[in-house]
Chain A
């Protein structure tokens, strides 16, 4: 079973920020939070990941709470092309060991409205 819970769907107006929440209350100290998205009929696309600090890249920002039990993916200016299913995954990925067995939940279907 997935170790994360996400809302099944969200709407966002084009040009506004999209904030996608994820709960991972049983996360272990060596588990990272990863975000992927999957546009219809395509392979999952890596977005961002983090351990405990907030992270930002050209696609998005990741905010992880201090207790690491939840996180939020922020798309700062959503476009119609951001409509996709967004998956939040926890994964052991640090030095000394990593798993490639990503456990996908049902994800959040983000619908960006014009």
Chain B
């Protein structure tokens, strides 16, 4: 049973460029959330997707956008990259409904903006 998988694992982008990160949820899960983790800090919630719609959003600018596909996989897009966007981007998945619906995380995508 594959867990949450993310790609790429590492990437380097130049300031002003755009980046797309990809996530496949754990088998049986229908909800995907994205988090940003800067060095030395805890993860910060970006947004959540369920039924191909953004359901909840954290305090992130519109440069951060996402998409969920019919197979529940998801993409995170960041436009006009800033140096401060350098971070570990984490995808998490769970299944809506049911008691607990535990959230599981992937290993993350390391983004470096130079």
Contacts and interface: CB of A to CB of B under 8 A. Distances in A.
> Most chain-B Cβ atoms within 10 A of its Cβ — which of A44, A100, A102?
A100
A20 to B, nearest CB: 15
> Most chain-A Cβ atoms within 10 A of its Cβ — which of B4, B103, B107?
B103
Contacts of A93: 99-101
A87 B90 CA distance: 15
A102 B106 contact: no
A101 B33 CA distance: 8
A105 interface: yes
A44 B105 contact: yes
Contacts of A49: 100, 102
B104 A100 contact: no
Contacts of A36: 105
Interface residues of B, number: 30
Given A100-B92, A104-B42, A43 B105 contact: yes
Contacts of B108: 42-43
B48 interface: yes
B99 A100 contact: no
A76 interface: no
Interface string B67-103: 0000000000000000000001010101011111111
B45 A103 contact: yes
A98 interface: yes
Of all A-B residue pairs in the complex, the 9 with the closest CB atoms, nearest first, are A104-B42, A43-B105, A100-B48, A101-B45, A100-B33, A43-B107, A44-B105, A43-B108, A104-B43
Given A43-B107, A93-B100, A101-B48, 14 more contacts: A43-B105, A44-B43, A46-B102, A49-B100, A87-B42, A93-B99, A95-B98, A100-B94, A101-B33, A101-B45, A101-B58, A102-B43, A102-B45, A106-B42
